[in-house]
Structure 1
Amino acid sequence: MSKPAALFINKHHYSHFSRGGAHILPVTEVDIHLVTRYRAHGGLDGFADHPLPHVAVCETEDFDRWRDLCSWTLRHHPIDRVIAVHERAVLLAAEMRSTFSLPGMDYETAVRFRDKLRMKEVIREAGAAALPAFAALDRPTDLDRVDWSTGRKVIKSRWGLAAKDLYMVDSLDQARAVVAGLDLSGSHYEIEEFVKGRIYHCDSVVVDGEIRFASVGTYLTDPAGYSPGGVFGTVLVDDPDLLRRIRAMNASVLAALGLKDGTTHLELFRTDSDELVFCEVAGRPPGGVIPPVIQWQYGFNIVETQIRLDAGLPVTLGTGPATGTCGFIAFYPGGGEARGVDPGRFADLGVVEHIEHHGAGNGRGGVRHSTDFLDSYVLRAPDEATLMAGIAGIQNEYWR
């Protein structure tokens, strides 16, 4: 009997799907038709080591061409499923499922997870979480209807990712200056109240409408604060009461948005008064180095899980939480000459994995987005204090 077939719409480097010498695409179970970006942009990095029989490449920045190639593939091949794990591909994959009547996240659901304004409207209607005040920003005059007496605001793209296209403004005049440089046509922007607080994330696996897994972490720094020479990272949360509260918000939000099968990455604020305020949620696996942290702590690859769910395959979520805790620290380019950390020091610092990110920065010492890392270090430790001591040690040793 022939294998089922799936269209895999990809924007990651192909090497993203190799881990520990293994390839996570389920090629023995599914006949995969890959549509990816050009080799020059990493779409086929490492392809010779893990080839596929059906491959098409295109300039994925040309969205119409990308869509046309996916549609052509579905019209000319007997394909049962559509796979997508990159934020830029999730909406296109959902459009293809809805257009060709295929199972998985449909277009309407995907829009609720992709359009930050529509997302918050649905959550507000359901009363699923506390929200900052927000409004569409479709024309400059929309700024006049905002209450500026309450302080700082955030202007951001409704469709953005990795903390790009985000602007902090403290007054109407500052907002007008920002908006003067933006193209507001096409309903691409929103404005919302700035929330002061520590940022947490909850990463989930949903099967048949039930949350089967939910990990909670907190960022070491604000994702929007990425800059040359800066650091980023996350540490898992083990406070039982906080875990319960965040998982409860996560469950309410996902129920309101209507996800049936997939993985999610939710971000929220914890204010100084201990209020939990929703920020945003994506209907795909977490990015950056969060998946390796989850794998080291819980024993499964959450990116592979999304691929298998999209492909209609069963998933295994590991054996449960390991003892101790886990986290990572990452370094942005532009901080001078990177010495790195001597591998001989890994055991003392708790490092279990070092990830070198090729092509970081813009070639001039800049940083393009919140996961544009130069080097990342995943750590495991028996407790949070030991973990944080290891992170501090790495930070002290990294730069010359």
Structure 2
Amino acid sequence: MTLLLLNRRPLLDRLASWFPDCAEELVVVTDPSALGDAGPAAWSGRFRHLEVVDDYAAPETGDLVERLVRAHAVERILTTAESDVLRAARLRHRLGLPGQTGASALAYRDKQVMKSLAGAAGVPVAPMRLVHDGAELADFAREHGLPVVVKAVDGVACLGQRVLTDQRSLREPGTGPWPAPLLAEAWIEGDTFHVDGLMADGAVLLSHPSRYLNSQWLTHHGSAPLVSGMLAPDDPLFARLQRAVRDVVRALPGPAGACAFHAEFFRTADDRIVLCEIACRAGGGSIVEAFELATGVNLHGASLLGQAGRAVDLPGPGTVLRHGYATWYPPVETATLRRLPRHCPLPGTVKYVPSGRVGHRYHGPDSPSHRVADLFFRLPDGGTGDGLTDRLREVDRWWAGAAQWDFADAAEVPAARPEHA
């Protein structure tokens, strides 16, 4: 069987462990960023065919895929990134290939379709409406109150999302004309959780709930670190979140074969579990690595095997070793990194990777040097939510005291000799 992988993840070095015959059966179309520092020559001969596409997101990439499918008699198209879900589904339909359908891909990419289906099945969701202009947005705010969240229906994480808190912001939700209908949602106040795992044919195969210390909104727009930890099975929220994600997966037209998912939920002050969103791909950031440390399952690899129509090994009961992770990004404001800890002394530390450059001036979290450090840590067996939250706060406090940013320096700062704490 010949398979084509649409790829923008740095996982090429893992493909041989998932597809031992990848040199004969795998055609890879990849973004240059996934190659690492080695460049295309380092991958020569490791796949049946490799195409490095400079403008990976361009429509012409679809034309290239069609040519490669015909030239290599490709039987299945595989993906790992959310931006490829709909593109791959349309290509499968046009080329008559098996795999996730357009209806399934749309349900997991279009948040209005997603939450309409989930809500109709009884899953609690925020009040929402497609809005085409400021007048419709103001009507929605009058009906549901402020704040209002405005986002693209196919957005990723909180990128491009806005939270409108007053009448002036309602009149100016963007910097230019609205290119398409936006999704307006009522603000949901509460703690945020994510559930990660594998699904197939509308059923959950494997899942584990985790708690975010800070919301995704605060991470992307408020300079808060991304800190998360897996819930213990005896935590009362563990079973509730597993039930919630089963209800969501059952409500949406799911892909056949094992497929990774990443779902996010709110727990409100009145103890409701409300769906934020779900994606039919592995979670971003450090979720995949933390999940693999805990379960032995790489969500990218399992999802690729499932899309290829192949079996996936699942861990037995009681074999999960709970982990947490933290990722620190540059602040939203322009700032210079003055001190970066070289080691993490916290108990349970599994791996700490400092990647920032002391003396470097960062221009927000979307600059080329996107993250400055990652931490993976083991969590003790058992324990309820309060103990987990305390552990996550301990990680947050350590970083706040060990790292140092300079927000006052307005001049360009030359590269400096690293000074580690």
**TM value normalised by structure 1:** 0.86
Task: Point out 4+ residue stretches in structure 1 off by more than 6 angstroms.
Answer: none
What is the match of residue 302 of structure 2? 305
**Is residue 216 of structure 2 the alignment partner of residue 235 of structure 1?**
no
**Once the 2 structures are TM-superposed, how far is the Cα of residue 246 of structure 1 from its aligned partner?**
1.1
Contact 2:138 2:170 in 1 (8 A): no
**Once the 2 structures are TM-superposed, how far is the Cα of residue 289 of structure 1 from its aligned partner?**
0.3
Name which of 196, 218, 222 aligns with 1:203. 196
What is the match of residue 162 of structure 2? 167
In structure 1, distance between residues paired with 2:102 and 2:142: 35
Secondary structure class of the residue paired with 2:47: coil
The Cα RMSD (Å) is 2.8
**Once the 2 structures are TM-superposed, how far is the Cα of residue 52 of structure 1 from its aligned partner?**
2.0
Per-residue CA shift, 1:199-250, capped at 9, x if unaligned?
1111121134431101101112111222586411211112443111111111
Moved more, 156-165 or 49-58: 49-58
**Is residue 398 of structure 2 the alignment partner of residue 393 of structure 1?**
yes
Contact 1:138 1:185 in 2 (8 A): no
Moved more, 293-302 or 140-149: 140-149
Moved more, 97-106 or 271-280: 97-106
Taking a change above 3 Å as real, the CA distance of residues 396 and 131 of structure 1, as seen in their structure-2 partners, is: same
Secondary structure class of the residue paired with 1:178: coil
Moved more, 325-334 or 301-310: 325-334
Tell me the amino acid that sits aligned with residue 267 of structure 2.
Answer: R
Per-residue CA shift, 1:34-56, capped at 9, x if unaligned?
1112x3x4446545555323011
Q: Structure 2 unaligned segments of length 5 or more: list them.
A: 382-386, 405-420
In structure 2, distance between residues paired with 1:207 and 1:122: 18
What is the match of residue 154 of structure 1? 149
**Once the 2 structures are TM-superposed, how far is the Cα of residue 141 of structure 1 from its aligned partner?**
2.9
Secondary structure class of the residue paired with 1:34: strand
In structure 2, distance between residues paired with 1:112 and 1:264: 13
Name which of 258, 263, 267 aligns with 2:260. 263
What is the match of residue 128 of structure 2? 134
**Once the 2 structures are TM-superposed, how far is the Cα of residue 253 of structure 1 from its aligned partner?**
0.9
Contact 2:336 2:362 in 1 (8 A): no
Q: Structure 1 unaligned segments of length 5 or more: list them.
A: none
Q: Residues 1-400 of structure 1: matches in 2 within 5 Å?
A: 4-12=1-9, 15-18=10-13, 24-28=17-21, 31-37=25-31, 39=32, 41-43=33-35, 45-46=37-38, 50=43, 51-60=46-55, 62-127=57-122, 129-148=123-142, 150-179=145-174, 181-187=175-181, 189-225=182-218, 226=220, 230-238=224-232, 239-259=234-254, 260-261=256-257, 262-322=259-319, 325-334=322-331, 336-337=336-337, 339-343=339-343, 345=344, 348-355=346-353, 364-368=362-366, 372-383=370-381, 384=387, 387-388=391-392, 389=394, 392-399=397-404
In structure 1, distance between residues paired with 2:260 and 2:311: 14
In structure 2, distance between residues paired with 1:170 and 1:390: 31
In structure 2, distance between residues paired with 1:69 and 1:338: 45
In structure 2, distance between residues paired with 1:185 and 1:365: 27
Secondary structure class of the residue paired with 1:277: strand
In structure 2, distance between residues paired with 1:144 and 1:338: 44
In structure 2, distance between residues paired with 1:372 and 1:269: 27
Tell me the amino acid that sits aligned with residue 328 of structure 1.
Answer: Y
Secondary structure class of the residue paired with 1:328: strand
Taking a change above 3 Å as real, the CA distance of residues 326 and 84 of structure 1, as seen in their structure-2 partners, is: same
Contact 1:130 1:277 in 2 (8 A): yes
Tell me the amino acid that sits aligned with residue 215 of structure 1.
Answer: H
Contact 2:330 2:365 in 1 (8 A): yes
Percent identity of equivalent pairs: 21
**Once the 2 structures are TM-superposed, how far is the Cα of residue 142 of structure 1 from its aligned partner?**
1.8
In structure 1, distance between residues paired with 2:192 and 2:239: 16
In structure 1, distance between residues paired with 2:361 and 2:153: 28
Moved more, 326-335 or 296-305: 326-335
Tell me the amino acid that sits aligned with residue 90 of structure 1.
Answer: V
Count of residues in correspondence between the two structures: 383
**Once the 2 structures are TM-superposed, how far is the Cα of residue 325 of structure 1 from its aligned partner?**
2.7
**Once the 2 structures are TM-superposed, how far is the Cα of residue 366 of structure 1 from its aligned partner?**
1.1
Tell me the amino acid that sits aligned with residue 253 of structure 2.
Answer: G
Moved more, 314-323 or 103-112: 314-323
**Once the 2 structures are TM-superposed, how far is the Cα of residue 80 of structure 1 from its aligned partner?**
1.1
Moved more, 308-317 or 327-336: 327-336
Secondary structure class of the residue paired with 2:173: helix
